[in-house]
């Protein structure tokens, strides 16, 4: 205890022992505190439960059950009213647990058009099914948040964007990193010039696929995966890097890095190393792989005066943010990573309810799919530069 602390403690003791003027002043202060405070001028007040946007979740797989559905527990503008599943038993069990009573399957899905208890639809299906169910939901008059990557092809993405325009409904791509506190803090610091001028971005994303594990089985097929590692995890590097920059690529190049003779990769690539060149002259360089161990999720932003390292950068629970250069190495706390799921739901609900632009619209998913298509074109041609 230092000297000031000691004196404070002594004063409190004297007051407690009946030093009346001090006690009276203290009780006046308490009476003032009890008069209340103005409403916080915060537009983010939680909606009352009856007013929240009502969501249907389509596809009750590992990500939906593990992350999306629990995310509603922290949401303030969103609640679940419906599940769509090909497995009625699973839908019933989850419905009982989460108080969701409207259960649909893939055959009667279009009947959601008559269901006034559904405002928004979250597509959490394998990639090859995103376009079909997104367009069906939009035609049913619902707003749609679709998981990443947006779809299998550029043409499908274009059709999804057109369907949203036609239906006058919101279409978002679930790039949760745009709602994640550490990445938002990195974006703020980069845009505020805290690393000087951006000189280079590097990113690596990957994991080791298990051909026996059902969620990996469909990822290894062209029909349901759309593409390979670039679709599933490379898209985090691509999209997150562009989130930090204020320019769009003008050319891309890529080479495949699929292990020769690996039986897992008969239909989709096991790995790809890629580069995007920006108008300012800098490049973003990345790798994605279905053959990395342990799970890699790493972003590095090299500036003229400092660097930001995020490792991991795009996970569910614990993204890190470190600044190096311009002083001692600093670990920066930015908030709880897990908030991203509820924040993403509420961000979309808000956009849908107020008909205002969403942070990660369909057009962003389409842009990314065009870039990935250009990377494949380059890799198919031995790494030749593709101008955009």
Site residues (vs ligand NDP, CB under 6 A):
59-64, 85-87, 90, 124-127, 129, 147-148, 174, 176, 214-215, 218, 224, 232
Least gap, CB of 63 to ligand NDP (angstroms): 3
Residues near 354 by Cβ (< 8 Å), separated by ≥ 6? none
Reference 384, options 133, 225, 174, 375; nearest CA is 375
DSSP code at position 112: G
Query: Annotated catalytic, 139?
Result: no
**Lookup result for tokens 């920059």:** 245
- DSSP code per residue over 249-302: -SEEEEEE-PPTT-GGGSSS-SEEEEEEE-TTS-EEEEEEESEEEEEEEEEEEE
Least gap, CB of 127 to ligand NDP (angstroms): 5
Number of H helices, E strands in the chain: 14, 15
Reference 203, options 96, 137, 276; nearest CA is 276
Least gap, CB of 170 to ligand NDP (angstroms): 18
Sheet with 53-58: strands ordered across = 102-104, 78-84, 53-58, 120-123, 143-146, 171-173
Judged by beta carbon, residue 51 or residue 267, the one nearer ligand NDP is 267
- Among 104, 133, 142, 148, the one annotated catalytic: 148
Least gap, CB of 199 to ligand NDP (angstroms): 29
Judged by beta carbon, residue 224 or residue 291, the one nearer ligand NDP is 224
Least gap, CB of 256 to ligand NDP (angstroms): 21
In whole angstroms, give the CA distance from residue 309 to residue 135: 39
- Among 133, 175, 231, 236, the one annotated catalytic: 236
Query: Annotated catalytic, 165?
Result: no
Reference 371, options 388, 355, 354; nearest CA is 388
Judged by beta carbon, residue 67 or residue 283, the one nearer ligand NDP is 67
Judged by beta carbon, residue 130 or residue 189, the one nearer ligand NDP is 130
Judged by beta carbon, residue 63 or residue 98, the one nearer ligand NDP is 63
> Measured at CB, which residue is nearest to ligand NDP?
61
Which are the catalytic amino acids?
Answer: 148, 236
């Amino acid at each position: 205890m230092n000297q000031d602390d000691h004196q404070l403690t002594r004063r409190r003791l004297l007051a407690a022992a009946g030093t009346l003027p001090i006690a009276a002043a203290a009780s006046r202060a308490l009476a003032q505190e009890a008069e209340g405070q103005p409403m916080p001028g915060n537009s983010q007040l939680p909606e009352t439960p009856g007013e929240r946007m009502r969501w249907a979740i389509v596809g009750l797989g590992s990500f939906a059950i593990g992350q999306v559905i629990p995310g509603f527990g922290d949401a303030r503008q969103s609640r679940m009213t419906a599940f769509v599943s090909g497995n009625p038993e699973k839908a019933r069990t989850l419905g009982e647990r989460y108080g969701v009573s409207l259960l649909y399957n893939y055959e009667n899905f279009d009947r959601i058009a008559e269901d006034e208890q559904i405002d928004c639809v979250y597509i959490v299906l394998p990639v090859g099914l995103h376009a079909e169910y997104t367009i069906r939901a939009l035609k049913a008059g619902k707003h749609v948040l679709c998981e990443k990557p947006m779809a299998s092809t550029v043409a499908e993405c274009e059709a999804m964007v057109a369907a949203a325009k036609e239906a006058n409904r919101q279409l978002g791509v679930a790039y949760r990193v745009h709602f994640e506190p550490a990445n938002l803090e990195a974006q703020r610091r980069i845009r505020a010039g805290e690393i000087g001028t951006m000189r280079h971005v590097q990113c690596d994303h990957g994991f080791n696929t298990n051909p026996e594990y059902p969620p990996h089985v469909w990822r290894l097929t062209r029909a349901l995966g759309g593409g390979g590692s670039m679709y599933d995890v490379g898209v985090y590097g691509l999209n997150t890097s562009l989130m930090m920059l204020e320019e769009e690529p003008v050319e891309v190049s890529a080479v495949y890095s699929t292990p020769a003779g690996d039986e897992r990769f008969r239909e989709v690539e096991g790995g790809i190393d890629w580069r995007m060149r920006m108008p300012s002259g800098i490049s973003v360089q990345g790798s994605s792989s279905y053959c990395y161990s342990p799970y890699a999720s790493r972003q590095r932003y090299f500036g003229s005066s400092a660097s930001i390292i995020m490792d991991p950068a795009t996970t569910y629970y614990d993204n890190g943010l470190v600044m190096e250069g311009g002083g001692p190495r600093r670990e920066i706390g930015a908030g709880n990573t897990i908030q991203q799921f509820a924040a993403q739901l509420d961000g979309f609900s808000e956009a849908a309810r107020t008909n205002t632009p969403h942070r990660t619209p369909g057009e962003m998913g389409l842009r990314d799919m065009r870039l990935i298509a250009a990377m494949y074109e380059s890799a198919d041609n031995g790494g030749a530069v593709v101008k955009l």
